[in-house]
Amino acid sequence: MLPRFWRKIKYRYNLIGTKCENCGTYYYPPRNFCTKCRRKSKIVEVKFSGRGEVVSYSVVHEVPENMKEQKPYVIALVKLEEGPMITAQLVCRPEEVRVGMKVKAAFRKCGEEGESGIIYYCTKFVPE
């Protein structure tokens, strides 16, 4: 998992995705191939503003073992203002979340390999 995480650090920490300059479509997670333009793809990296809107959400009660301390937590489909949608945790009280809620990116821990392993950091969202 270590190299797998490290490889994507840039994209996870900073919401860096890609854009096809041929058709203007934004991608997050980043793609190096535009699904619309295919061989005509002209992919460049872009940094997203980090602002978005909740499209759907769930308050998760049956949580993975390593997230027990966060139970219940909120997961959401967040539509970034540039267009792409992302699945991410929302840091807020379960009773606060609404479809259409404006959110912004926050830098948080999203796991660790036990007490002696590496710590994973990522982007979550908080109410704006």
Partner 1 sequence: MAGIVSYGTYIPIYRIKAEEIARIWGEDGESISRGLGIKQKSIPDIDEDTATIAVEAAREAIFRAKIDPEQVDAIYVGSESHPYAVKPTATIVGEAIGAGNYYFAADLEFACKAGTAGMQICYAMVKSKMIRYGLAIGADTSQGAPGDALEYSASAGGAAYVIGDKGVIAEIECTLSFTSDTPDFWRREGQPYPKHGGRFTGQPAYFRHITSAAKKIMEITELKPSDFSYAVFHQPNGKFPARVAKMLGFSKEQISPGLVVPYIGNTYSGSSLLGLAATLDVAKEGDLILLVSFGSGAGSDAFVLRVTDRIEDIERKPGVWEKIEKGIFVDYGMYVKLRRKIKMPG
Partner 2 sequence: MRKVAVIGVGQSKFGELWDYSFRDIVLSAGIEAIEDAGLEGREIEAMYVGNMSGGRFLAQEHIAALIADYSGLAELHIPCTRVEGADASGGLALRQAYLAVASGLHDIVIAAGAEKVTDVGEKAVEILSSGVDREWEVFNGATLASLFAMMARMHMEKYGTRAEDLAMVSVKNHKNATKNPKAQFRREISIDVVMNSPYVAEPLRMFDCAPVSDGAAVVILASEEVAKNYTDTPIYISSSAQACDYIALSSRRDPTTMDAIVFAAREAYKKAGVEAKDIDVAEVHDSYTIAEIMAYEDLGFVEKGRGAELIREGVTELDGDIPVNPSGGLKACGHAAGATGIRQAVEIVLQLRGDAKERQVDAETGLTLNIGGTGATAVVTVFRRD
Residues in the chain: 128
Does residue 26 bind partner 1 (CB under 8 A)?
no
Binding mask 54-73 for partner 1 (x = CB under 8 A): --------------xxx---
CA distances from 91 to 2, 15, 25, 58, 110 (A): 25, 17, 28, 12, 11
Residues 14 and 24: their CA atoms lie apart, in Å, by 20
Least distance (Å) between residue 83 CB and partner 2: 12
87 binds, among partner 2, partner 1, none (CB under 5 to 8 A by kind): partner 2
Residues 121 and 106: their CA atoms lie apart, in Å, by 10
Please give the residue ranges that form the binding site for partner 1 (CB under 8 A).
Answer: 9-10, 13-14, 47, 68-70, 91, 106-110, 114-115, 119, 121, 124
